[in-house]
Structure 1
């Protein structure tokens, strides 16, 4: 009898993927939105086919798509470094509120782990974030905020890892804050490459997954940092520089033209009024003896 019980427990655990898969239990997302569900698997299933099916029970589970087949509504990404498959469901409708199974094909019976998706009206979810993608910088800190409705224990968890409200998580220092009503803030300090990956907020039986991307902080050149214009408008800046150069050249041409005209005018005036030869002739006239014509007497 004991042997039969152990066998049944093993079969049930193998079917639900307790030892092979780790994912959320319940996620709520707004109607019309997009949800991403992470599912971590064991290393020995790197090359196995992963797929998602829909149904409240294993027997009624209908396959939606796999890592070999994607569609406009459903897609899957397999990160073989972190051993996490990410299922994406777009343009959520009321009919998408259902139980799903994160599955891995294997000889004999497939592994599967069930989770529930609830589609809600905007703002009605008890647990929500502005974005499931968060970006931080190496050796820096990031604060991630989650909105919740109700009271109870709030946790910050790493997919496939531990949950924390304070202390260390993969080398980063974690602290949490609930001073703002309805907002749970998690701050991670001293970010490293080890902190890249999927996490989730856990509250009242709901989870909200978020992916933390950690990159190098972008650097700015001196020109960009001192420029009056935004660095994300290179074309506008180029046009303004060109216009400034053209205006400067035009101003220079006008100044040179005015100087030239002034000098020419001054030279003409000096020639007409102050010519020494003209003045001498006017002051000392010269008379010449012209012989009188002879008259013939008749």
Structure 2
């Protein structure tokens, strides 16, 4: 048996006494999320009780009232200044979709406004815009319709529309937030999000959102893939301190009229322009799609990593990485030997370690002299023995002082060769 309240509600529908239900509030929510229902009322009803009910609004159909503002997953708040009471429904499931009524309690028949709740899945979208980029810098363009020129724009990571605005990386109100900036071109109907210092960790899903007060926000789904940053060419060059050096920097043909850059730094993000120094000159040759950088007099501090290119945005393929090692050549000469010293300059991680070459020419000469002396001595002894075997000499014998003089010569040779400060002869070399 129906209650008196149900009977009155049915009669009001039949007799069209629900005069305030001239419009229907359409609300769309996401499954598993929360939805808000905004219901307005006329002046004079600020102190009256408000409520939300479902179906026929029977006794058991009333979900929440302002006299008891929180029940399970329902909540209600009455803003008497704006004369709008807001009802929230959390943890939405498919059974929550359907017809609701915003009610204002009064003597006689209550005031009702019809609400239709539609639920959709919490993901987006049918189409995906894929962007491939490289570490460094990227722009994401998000188009929108002209009627939303003054609407709030934003971008978030992930693919959940229900939480996108709350987790927005940047909005059109803030315009700048850390690495992110947002520019809204209302003429073209596109807002652009720029990301600086882009890394591979920035790869993933993004949602461009346009906020709508009474309906679900509009989204554009973007899939961003960030690849490891690389360059057009990578070369290694050696230069000599005090000497000139010319570096060759090619660039893509389409960049012939771009401003050319040449800078120094371990990474392009901390690259310092060096062409302001008088020793560095840059000459462009558009016919060969390259430019030359000449260093008039190389210094030790010039060793390091250089970048030359033709695109200030550092887009891939528009620059060359140069690893320059600086060499010192030092020649020192002493008696009978020469030292040649070569040292590779700093920042030489990609070139062999610094090396020292020392050539002792004197030692080789000394060894050769020793061998010659040894041969001379043995030949001398050999002839002496031959002369002793011959009974009759065709030549008169040498005087004693001449024989002693020959021995003294040998002794002098020994002292010259074997008593140098850098070499000693073993006793067996001389009898």
TM-score (norm 1): 0.39
Work out which structure has the larger RCO, using CA pairs closer than 8 Å and 6 or more positions apart in sequence.
Answer: 1
**CA radius of gyration, larger in:** 2
Specify which structure has the higher proportion of helix.
1
